[in-house]
Amino acid sequence: MLQSAQLVRQYTATTSKAESIADVQLQDSVIRCLMVIAEAACRISPATRDRLSNINIAWHEI
């Protein structure tokens, strides 16, 4: 999850919103990273979610 989030930041760091909208390859890369994050979030055990509850992560929204 962390690696995918870092990649999204790296991919979009120097790109404006208009450039991002025009760049289909960038969109595809970012969407893929977001899908990886979402899939990984679904696989986090309830015990781990409980342990991380103090971080206030809305798991069901990921």
pLDDT in tens, 11-37: 999 999 999 999 999 999 999 999 999
Q: Are the beta carbons of 28 and 34 closer than 8 angstroms? A: no
- pLDDT for the residue numbered 62: 66
Q: Are the beta carbons of 36 and 4 closer than 8 angstroms? A: yes
- pLDDT for the residue numbered 58: 76
Confidence of residue 49 (pLDDT cuts 50, 70, 90): confident
Q: Where are the domains of the chain?
A: 2-54
- Regarding pTM above 0.85, the answer is no
Q: Is the pLDDT of residue 59 over 80?
A: no
Q: What angle do CA 24, 32, 4 make, to 5 degrees?
A: 120
